[in-house]
Structure 1
Amino acid sequence: MELDDAYANAAYIPGADAYPEKWAQAAATFRAQTLCELDLAYGESPRQRFDLFHPPRLSKGLVVFVHGGYWLRFDKSFWSHLAAGPLAHGWTVAMPSYDLCPDVRIADIRRQIVAAIVSVSQRVPGPIRLAGHSAGGHLVARASVPTTGARWQDRLVQTVAISPVADLAPLLRTSMNADLNLEAAEVAAESPIHQPQPKVPVTVWVGSDERPAFLQQASALETAWQCQKVVAANKHHFDVIEELAEPDSALTSTVLA
């Protein structure tokens, strides 16, 4: 369809096909070497599970990382190694999976992520920081919108949306929508740019070498919420998240700021 190419990341990243296997191997190695609890339930479906990675000392609080994949693919098992940066600074890291479209709608996934945050926050005391990539960037941004009765938001201190889809409207003009099943009402309700600004600092993080559509998405959220935007030099949509595995990286420092 009209915008398929605009939102095609892999086609413009050299060696893109090798990334999922590389991620999965790094994640499995990390889990084998790290104190963690795996497949903790926060909901009824088999995918409503999270992994919890513990620092070797008393935790400073909770970082929740939400993965991407256009709400259509991947799960928590690909990203475990990205917990390394926050863990090194004494933060507990949670990584949830969630049901995928077309089995559920994007609004359902957002509710699942909130349920995951609530569940893990009951296990881990202290401040809460959210980070997410691509579709996960959308989900953490949307979850950060002030919500009546959301007591966990009283503990929220920072959100970092990495290469987020902040405006869902363009996806109506992609072939993906055959599975996303987006309609105008859901676009308005679930696009962060159409929602009130969170009460906590939000940083939009995007790679300089990303598709123009993702640079535009980052700018749209920056404008809508008057928040900080960082353009990471020489990073594309797949490697923009790698710095989370590095304790002293700029991205890790931003998540923990």
Structure 2
Amino acid sequence: MATAIYRGMTRQDLDTAYSNTGRLADFPGLMRDFRARSAALYAEHDCRRDLHYGPGARQTYDWLSCGRPDAPAFVFIHGGYWQSCVKEDFAFCAAGPMARGHDVILAEYTLAPEASMTQIVAEIGRLLDHLAPRIAGRPLCLAGHSAGGHLAAMHRGHPAVGSVLAISGLFDLEPIGLGALNDKLQLTPAEIAACSPQRHIAAGAPTLVAVGAGELPELMRQSDDYAAACRRAGQPAALLHVAGCDHFQVLDDLADPAGAQLTALARLGR
């Protein structure tokens, strides 16, 4: 009989509990659709592609302009469990923030196993350091989905960040370190402790924690627990369960300027 290793779950249970793609009938088809929509958005908007914030091959970002001078910045960090995907897969999400008057910056970062979690987290900090003088004091929202939600939460205390949108994030890395997702990440106990936003809630930007109401229970629990922990620590945090959305449909909501996430984000901190 398999041994329970986390919240009554075996390793196999845990792998299933965090398999966002495993519950989809056609994940490759979904990604083809995302990429096609992203390519169309790139073609339709003014964009500077593959700008560098560091020397690494993946230390790059795209800057999509909404056409307004001195527009606030919306930085988006893609997911993929820190080990897959590229910024170009999710550019379609920029449509929503751009329609609301934001310039959108699509962040790239080095993936595991080439980079450790510590290195990945540091890269996003380097990106923010690089962007700070370039946004000239304009408001900056740091957003991310899934692994990107984790990375956004890790940097809510950065001085350039005015607000955070953490979508379907992983805020406690302990269960990630116990399953197959750790084969490439190779998280150590010390790294799990240091890189789990739930365990290091200090003063930071107002934060909207969003998660699809139809997501896997563990993903919903992670978001619920993190939002509650922020509130207990006296930090400004709101929790949003996005109705009718799974782990990937939340990105369709983000791409909609009238979607639940951008609507809630506009109210954040008022």
> Aligning the two structures, in what range does the TM-score lie when normalised by the shorter sequence?
over 0.9
Q: Is the 8 A contact 1:59 1:90 kept in 2?
A: no
Deviation at 1:172, TM superposition (A): 1.7
Deviation per CA, 1:42-94, whole angstroms, max 9, x where unpaired?
A: 11111110000111121331110000000000111111121111111221110
* 1:63 paired residue number: 74
Q: Is the 8 A contact 2:83 2:113 kept in 1?
A: yes
Residues 1:133 and 2:138 aligned together? no
Q: Is the 8 A contact 1:13 1:236 kept in 2?
A: no
Using the alignment, how far apart are the partners of 2:207 and 2:68 within structure 1? 28
* 2:212 paired residue number: 207
Using the alignment, how far apart are the partners of 1:219 and 1:252 within structure 2? 19
Deviation per CA, 1:21-50, whole angstroms, max 9, x where unpaired?
A: 111111111101101100000111111100
Q: Is the 8 A contact 1:94 1:120 kept in 2?
A: no
Aligned residue identity for 2:215: E
Q: Which has the higher contact order (CA 8 A, sep 6+)?
A: 1
Residues 1:93 and 2:93 aligned together? no
- Aligned-residue RMSD, C-alpha: 1.4
* 2:154 paired residue number: 142
Say which is worse superposed, 99-108 or 192-201, in terms of deviation.
Answer: 192-201
Q: Which has the larger radius of gyration?
A: 2
Q: Is the 8 A contact 2:242 2:260 kept in 1?
A: no
Aligned residue identity for 1:239: Q
* 1:51 paired residue number: 62
Aligned CA distance change for structure 1 residues 208 and 38 (closer, same or farther; 3 Å): same
Say which is worse superposed, 246-255 or 81-90, in terms of deviation.
Answer: 246-255
Deviation per CA, 1:132-165, whole angstroms, max 9, x where unpaired?
A: 0000000000011x3xxx5xx1x42210100000
* 1:189 paired residue number: 194
Which of the numbers 143, 156, 164 marks the counterpart of 1:159? 164
Aligned residue identity for 1:127: P
Where structure 2 has 5 or more consecutive residues not aligned to the other structure, the ranges are 1-10, 232-236
Aligned residue identity for 2:155: A
* 1:77 paired residue number: 88
Using the alignment, how far apart are the partners of 1:33 and 1:218 within structure 2? 34
Q: Is the 8 A contact 2:97 2:103 kept in 1?
A: yes
Give the aligned length: 250
Normalising by structure 2, we get a TM-score of 0.89
Aligned CA distance change for structure 1 residues 233 and 169 (closer, same or farther; 3 Å): same
Where structure 1 has 5 or more consecutive residues not aligned to the other structure, the ranges are none
Which of the numbers 86, 108, 115 marks the counterpart of 1:104? 115
Using the alignment, how far apart are the partners of 2:97 and 2:56 within structure 1? 28
SS at match of 1:10: coil
SS at match of 2:155: helix
Aligned residue identity for 1:210: E
